[in-house]
Structure 1
Amino acid sequence: MQVEQIYTGCLAQGAYYIESQGEAVIIDPLRETQPYLDKLAEAGVKLKYIFETHFHADFVSGHLDLAKKTGAKIVYGPQAATTYDIYSAKDGEELKVGALTFKVLHTPGHTLESTTYLLRNEAGEDYAIFSGDTLFLGDVGRPDLAIKQGEITKEDLAEMLFESLRTKIIPLDDKVIVYPGHGAGSACGKNLSTDTWGYLGDQKATNYALRADMTKEEFVEEVTSGLLPPPQYFAKNAMMNKAGYDSFDDVLKTGAVALTPEEFEALAESEEALMLDTRHQDEFAKAHVPNSIFIGIDGSFAPWVGALITDIKQPIILITPEGREEEVVTRLARVGYDNTLGYLSGGLEAWAKAGKEIDAVDSITAEELAGQMGEGLKGELLDVRKPTEYLAQHVEGATNFPLDYLNKNMERLSRQSTYFLHCLGGYRSMIFASILQARGFRNLVDVQKGWRAIEASTVPVTNYACPSTLTQETIDQAVAAVL
C-alpha cells in the first residue's frame, strides 16, 4: 500500500494518491493532469477511481480531464448531481482498489453531497479517512457555501454536519489518520491547523467542533459565527465542477502564447483584456505597464485572483517572471480563469525597449512614515490587512480597509485624497495600490515591507491584543464595519 499526499501550498489543498497491487485511486485532483499521469506511468499502475469528496468551491478539480485520459470512474457520494457521467456511491458502500477497501461515508454538512472515504488496509483495519472539507485539523468545513435561498440555510447544514461528525467520524478509532482537503490558509474554514495530516484521537481531544459535551445548539452557534463572506469565485468554481469545463490542455495552449509589445497592447485595447503582472511587488513598484494589475505569483496568487477579478471569463494577458509563463496560466486555470490570451514576450524590458510608457508606485520606508506622522501626515493611512490582524495591533490613527473588500468599498475612496498603504509585508498593499492606480488614483504611497517594518520602527502603534483574547462580538463588529 502506498498513500501519498500531494499538497499545494498556494491553495492550501491536499490531493491524494493511493496505490495497491497495480491499481490506484486519486482523491480531489487539481486541474492539471500531467503530474498524475506521470506518476501512474512511472509506477506502471492503472487508475481505477477518481474520488471527489464534494463539489469544491475554491478550485476547479481535474477529475474530468483525468477520467478522459485514463478511463477511470469518477466517484461522488450521495446527492451529487452532475451533467457528466459519474458513479454515485451509496452511503456505506465499499469499493476495492487492489488489496485495499474504501468505505463511503456520506457526511453532509459542509455541502449536501460531502463524503468521507474510509481507507481499510490489506488486513481490513481502519487506516485513514480522506475527509475533504467535512473535518479539518483544528476545524470543520464552513456550512454557508451550499445554502439555497428559501430551501436550506447555513444552520440546517450545520445541524447536518453535527450529526455527520458524531455518527460517522467520532466513532472511528483514535489511531485513524485524518487526511483533510485543506490546511491553514484556506477560506473553507475559520481556524485550520498548519499541519496537513494528523490522528483522529488528537482531533477528538483538541478540535472545538468534536467536543464530547457539545450540544447541537452550541455546535451550530460556534460553526456559523464569525464567518466572513466567501470569495466571489467560490460559487463559480463549484458550478464548473458540477457542469464541466474546457480541457486544461486547450487552456494552456491558448494562454501560453508569446506576444510582442504591439500585440500585447492591441489585445489590451481591442479585447479589453486585463493586464495581470505577476512579478515581485518590488519590481512592480519600480516599473510596470500603465493600468496593469499586480498579483504576484509567489504570494497567495490564485485566491487573490479569485477574490478580486470578479468576471471569471475576463480576458487576461500576462506579465510574468521569465520562464514561468505556463505556471501562471496553470494557476489561473486552477481557479477557473481560463480566458488567458498570452504573455508579454521579453517582459517589461521588451516593453520599455519598444518605447512604451512606464508607470511606478511611490513608496517610503517605515521610518520615513514615522517622520511624516510626526509632522502631521498629509493623507490617510490605510491598513489593508484583515480585520483580525488590525484588531490585534495597528498604527495609531490608521483606518482598516481590507483588500478582500476593496471592490465593495471603492465609493469610500476619493481620487483627490492621498493614501498611505500598508499590509503585513508589502504584497497585499501593492495589489491594493495597483487596482487603485488602474482606476485613476494617483496619490498613493506604499509603506515598504508593511507591518513587519512598522513594528520595528518608531511609528506609534496601539497596544498588542492577542487574537485569542478577542471576543466574537468585537470581531463581528470589525467585520461589519468593512463589509
Structure 2
Amino acid sequence: MKIEQIYTGCIAQAAYYLESNGEAAIFDPLREVQPYLDKAQKDHATIKYIFETHFHADFVSGHLDLAQKSGGKIVYGPTAQPEFEAIIATDNQEFKVGHYTIKAIHTPGHTLESTCYLLIDESEKPYGIITGDTLFIGDVGRPDLAQALTEELTQEKLAGFLFDSLRNKIMPLSDDLIVYPSHGAGSACGKNMSKETTDTLGNQKKTNYALRADMTKEEFTKELLDGLGLPPAYFPQNVLLNIKGYESLDSVIEKSNIGLLPTAFEAAANQDDVLVLDVRHENDFVKAHIPNSIFIGIQGNFAPWVGSLLRDVNQKLLLVIPEGREEETITRLSRVGFDHVLGYLKGGIEAWKAAGFEVDSINSVSPEEFAHQLTEKSVVVDARKPGEYEAEHVENAINLPLDTINENFPSIPKGNDFFLHCAGGYRSVIMASILKSRGIHNFINVEKGMNGIKQTGVNCTQFVCPSTKK
C-alpha cells in the first residue's frame, strides 16, 4: 500500500497521503495545501477525498482550500455538523481510492465526531489505520476538547466513550496493523505521546497504558484525566474555524506579506489593539528589540506558543522577521488561525535603529556568570514544564512554567532581581519579553538555560539531580 506520512515537527502534526491507480486521498491536511497537490501531480493522480478525523483544536486544517483547488470531497465521521459541503460518513461506510478501500470507524471519545479510517489494500487485507487523536503512540487523545462541554457532556463521559471506542472498535483489530496517529510528542492533544510517529497495533496493546486489557472504565478515566492541565486558550477558536470555515491561505498571505518602513511600522504599532511579535533568534532579541514587543522565535515550537500565549486568533500583529522568512512566518501563524498580520518591518531591526527609533534589550548572563553570582539568597525562576523541573532543578528554584504565565503572573517575584532560565534559552526569553511588556524588569536571563548551567562545574549538591534527588 502506498501511504506517506507528512510530519510537521513544529506543531507535532501528521497528515497522510494515500495513492492508488491514479486516485489519491489526503487525511488531516495542514492549511498550506500545495505540497499535497504537488504529490498528486507527480503521481498523475486526482485527489478524490479529503478525510478529516475530527474537528481539530490545535491547528486549522486545510480541507477547504484543498477541496477548492483539487475538487476532492471532504469527509467527516458520524455526528459531524460542518457549516460547508461535506460527506458525513456512517459507521463502517467504505470509500474506494483506486484499488484501496477506506473504512470509516466511528470512535467517539476525544470528540463526539472522532473517526478512524481503516486502510484496506488491493488484496482486501487491512494494512493500517489512521487514528487521528483517538489513539497516539503511547497515549490516547484528551477528552476535554469537545466544542461544547456541558453538564450532560462532561470530560468524564467522553473518557467513557473513548474507553468503549478503544475496546470495541480498535483493540479487536489485527495486531499487525500499522497505527498512523495525527500527533506525536510535543502536541497538547495528549499528555504522554512517544517521539515515534508510527507503530503496530499489537505493540501498542503491550506498551500503551490506555490499552491495558485488565483496565476498568473507572481506572481508564482516572488515569486519563490525572495530570491533565487546561487546554491552550486558542483551541476552541481553532475548532470553530474548522467547523465554520476560514479565509483562504492565499488571501491571508497576499494581504499580510507587506513590508512597512520604520515610520509606517511605528505608526501602526501605536494603535491600541496591535501587538509587535518578534520571531528572530532569542540571541538577537536579547541584544536589541522594539520596546514592548513579544518574542516567540520561529526556530522553536513557534505556532503552538503563539496560540498558547497570545490566545486570541483575532489579535492584530506586526512582525519583526529574519530576512527571507516572511511568507513562512505568515503561513505558520495561519496554521493556528492567526490571520490578522498587518505587515512586517522592512529592513528589520537595523532599519528601525537607523531611523532613530528606540530599542530595548534584556539583561542576561552566561551560565558561568550565573554560577559565580548564585548564593543561598538568590531567587531563581525556572520556566520549564513541571516534569522537567521535577527531574532536576536548581535548588530552591521556583517553577513557573511559561505556558502558565498568564495565570501565574501575580506569582512573579517583586523587588530584588531574580534569575530566569529554561532548558536552552528559548522559553526564558519569551517569558522575559512578556514580563518587560507588562512592566516587570527585575530579572536576569540565564543564557543557554539548564543545559548551560549543568556544564558550569557547580557542585551538583546545588541541584536536585537524578543521582541526588531528595
Residue of structure 1 in register with 2:289 after alignment? 288
How far off is 1:461 after superposition?
Answer: 3.3
Alpha-carbon distance in 2 for matches of 1:7, 1:42: 19
SS at match of 1:139: coil
TM-score w.r.t. length of structure 2 = 0.96
Gaps of at least 5 residues in structure 1 are 471-483
2:123 is aligned to 123
Please tell me whether the aligned partners of residues 116 and 134 of structure 2 are also in contact (alpha carbons under 8 angstroms). Answer: yes
Letter in 1 for 2:187: S
Aligned-partner residue type, residue 157 of structure 1: L
Question: Are 2:453 and 1:454 aligned?
Answer: yes
Conserved 8 A contact 1:76-1:86: yes
Determine the C-alpha separation between the residues in 1 that align with 2:416 and 2:242: 43
Structure 2 SS opposite 1:452: helix
Task: Give the partner amino acid of 1:374.
Answer: T
Partner of 2:356: 355
Amino acid paired to 1:56: H
Question: Could you give the per-residue CA deviations for residues 233-280 of structure 1, whole angstroms, max 9, x where no partner exists?
Answer: 111111110111111111111111111011111111136321111111
User: C-alpha separation between the residues in 1 aligned to 2:225 and 2:413?
Assistant: 35
Say which SS state the counterpart of residue 246 (structure 2) adopts. Answer: coil
Where does residue 80 of structure 1 map in the other structure? Answer: 80
- Normalising by structure 1, report the TM-score: 0.94
- In the alignment, residue 401 of structure 2 is paired with which amino acid? P
Give CA deviations for 1:166-197 in whole Å, capped at 9, x if unaligned.
11111111111000000001111111010111
Tell whether the 8 Å contact from 1:393 to 1:461 is kept in structure 2 after alignment.
no
Query: Which residue identity lines up with residue 243 of structure 1 in the other structure?
Result: K
Distance 1:260 1:317 in 2: 12
Tell me the secondary structure at the aligned position of residue 194 of structure 1.
Answer: coil
Q: Say if 1:449 and 1:87 are closer, same or farther in 2 by CA, change over 3 A.
A: same
* Farther off after superposition, 323-332 or 32-41: 32-41
Instruction: For 1:296-335, list aligned pairs within 5 A.
Output: 296-335=297-336
The DSSP-based 3-state class of the residue aligned with 1:391 is: helix
Q: Following the alignment from structure 1 to structure 2, what is the Cα–Cα distance between the partners of residues 20 and 197?
A: 21
- Counterpart in the other structure of 1:477: none
CA-to-aligned-CA distance 1:31-76 (integer Å, 9 cap, x gap): 1112222222222211110000001000000001111112211100
- Counterpart-to-counterpart distance in 1, 2:462 and 2:205: 39
Distance in 1 separating the partners of 2:377 and 2:59: 46
Aligned to 2:268: 267
Matches of 2:273 and 2:215, distance apart in 1: 53
Alignment of 1:294-443 (within 5 A): 294-374=295-375, 376-377=377-378, 380-413=379-412, 416-443=415-442
Opposite residue 329 of structure 2, the aligned amino acid is V
Take 2:326 and 2:247, find their aligned partners in 1: how far apart are those partners?
Answer: 20
Note if 1:245 corresponds to 2:276: no
Instruction: Supply the distance in 2 between the matched residues of 1:391 and 1:374 (Cα, whole angstroms).
Output: 21
Shift of 1:375: 7.6
Q: State how far apart, in whole Å, the 2-side matches of 1:208 and 1:165 are.
A: 12
Task: Measure how far apart 1:376 and its partner are.
Answer: 4.3
Contact 1:271–1:315 at 8 Å: present in 2 too?
Answer: no
2:76 counterpart of 1:60:
no
Q: How does 1:180-191 map to 2 (within 5 A)?
A: 180-191=181-192
1: CA distance between counterparts of 2:175 and 2:84?
A: 38
Q: Which residue of structure 1 aligns with residue 217 of structure 2? A: 216
Q: Do 2:110 and 2:145's aligned partners in 1 also have CA atoms closer than 8 Å?
A: yes
Tell me, what secondary structure is at the counterpart of 2:374? helix
Partner residue in 2 for 1:101: 101
Q: 1:64, 1:244 within 8 Å by CA — same for their partners in 2?
A: yes
- Give CA deviations for 1:408-457 in whole Å, capped at 9, x if unaligned: 12223366442310000000000000011111222221001000111222
Percent of residue pairs bearing the same amino acid type? 57
Deviations 1:309-329 (A, max 9, x none): 022101101111110010000
Q: For 2:389, give the aligned amino acid.
A: Y
Amino acid in structure 2 at the alignment position of 1:423: C
In structure 1, what is the Cα distance between the partners aligned to 2:153 and 2:191? 21
Instruction: Give the secondary structure class of the aligned counterpart of 2:179.
Output: strand
- Does residue 29 of structure 2 align to residue 38 of structure 1? no
In structure 2, the partner of 1:256 is 257
Quote the Cα distance in structure 2 between the aligned partners of 1:273 and 1:463. 42
The answer as to whether partners of 2:277 and 2:320 remain within 8 angstroms in 1 is: yes
Aligned length: 466
Deviation (angstroms), 1:407: 1.0
Q: Is the 8 A contact 1:232 1:307 kept in 2?
A: yes
Deviation at 1:465, TM superposition (A): 4.5
Give SS of 1:374's match: coil
Contact 1:138 1:192 in 2 (8 A): yes
Structure 1 residue 363, shift from structure 2 partner: 0.6
Q: Which amino acid aligns with 1:126?
A: P
Please give the alpha-carbon distance, in whole angstroms, between the structure 2 residues aligned to 1:376 and 1:326: 47
Query: 1:476 maps to what in 2?
Result: none
**Mapped partners of 1:408, 1:396: distance in 2:** 24
Distance 1:58 1:461 in 2: 39
Q: Take 1:414 and 1:165, find their aligned partners in 2: how far apart are those partners?
A: 46
1:473 matched to which residue of 2?
A: none
Which stretch of the first structure deviates more once superposed, 295-304 or 368-377?
368-377
Contact 1:391 1:465 in 2 (8 A): no
- Alpha-carbon RMSD across the aligned residues, in angstroms, is 1.6
Once residues 304 and 51 of structure 1 are traced to their aligned partners in structure 2, the CA distance between those partners, rounded to angstroms, is 27
Q: Deviations over 1:91-145 (max 9, x none)?
A: 0111101110001100011100000000000000000000000000001111111
Other structure's SS at 2:394 match: coil
Q: Deviations over 1:182-217 (max 9, x none)?
A: 000111111101011111111011111111111111
Q: Is the 8 A contact 1:20 1:99 kept in 2?
A: yes
C-alpha displacement of 1:367:
2.3
Partner of 2:7: 7
Amino acid at match of 2:141: G
